[in-house]
Amino acid sequence: MSQGLLNLVVLLAAVGFVKGLGAVAPSTATSNYIMMRPLVHSLGRSRPLTSSVTSLFSTASPSSSSASPPASPKKPLPSVLSGVQPTGSLHLGNWLGSVSLWPPLQDTHTCSFCVVDLHSITNMPKNAEVVSTLRENTLTAAALYIASGVDPERSTVFVQSHVKQHAELNWLLSCSTPLNWLERMIQYKEKAQSANAGDVGVGLLTYPVLMSSDILLYGAEAVPVGEDQRQHLELTRDLARRFNDLYCSGNKWKKKAKSAGIPSYPVFREPEALISAGGGARVMSLTDGRRKMSKSDPSELSRINVLDSPDAVRDKIKRAKTDEVRGIYYEEGRHEANNLLDIYLACAGPVDDEGREALLEEARGMSWGDFKPLLTDAVNSYLQPIQSRYEE
Residues designated catalytic: 191, 292, 295
User: 223 in helix, strand or coil?
Assistant: strand
| E strands, 85-218, in order | 110-115, 156-159
Distances (CA, A) of 68 to 64, 74, 75, 259: 11, 18, 21, 31
Are 93 and 292 in contact by the 8 Å Cβ rule? The answer is: yes
Q: What gap in Å lies between CA 53 and CA 7, rounded to an integer?
A: 7
Give the Cα separation of 320 and 315 in Å (integer): 9
CA end-to-end distance (rounded Å), the chain: 43
Inter-residue contact 7 to 14 (CB < 8 Å): no
Amino acid of residue 86:
P
Helices then strands, each counted (H, E), the chain: 18, 5
Q: List strand residue ranges (DSSP E) for 4-135, in order.
A: 79-84, 110-115
Contact 246, 254 (CB under 8 A): no
Burial degree of 192 (CB within 10 A; 0-12, 13-18, 19+) = middle
Helix (H) or strand (E) holding 272: strand 272-274
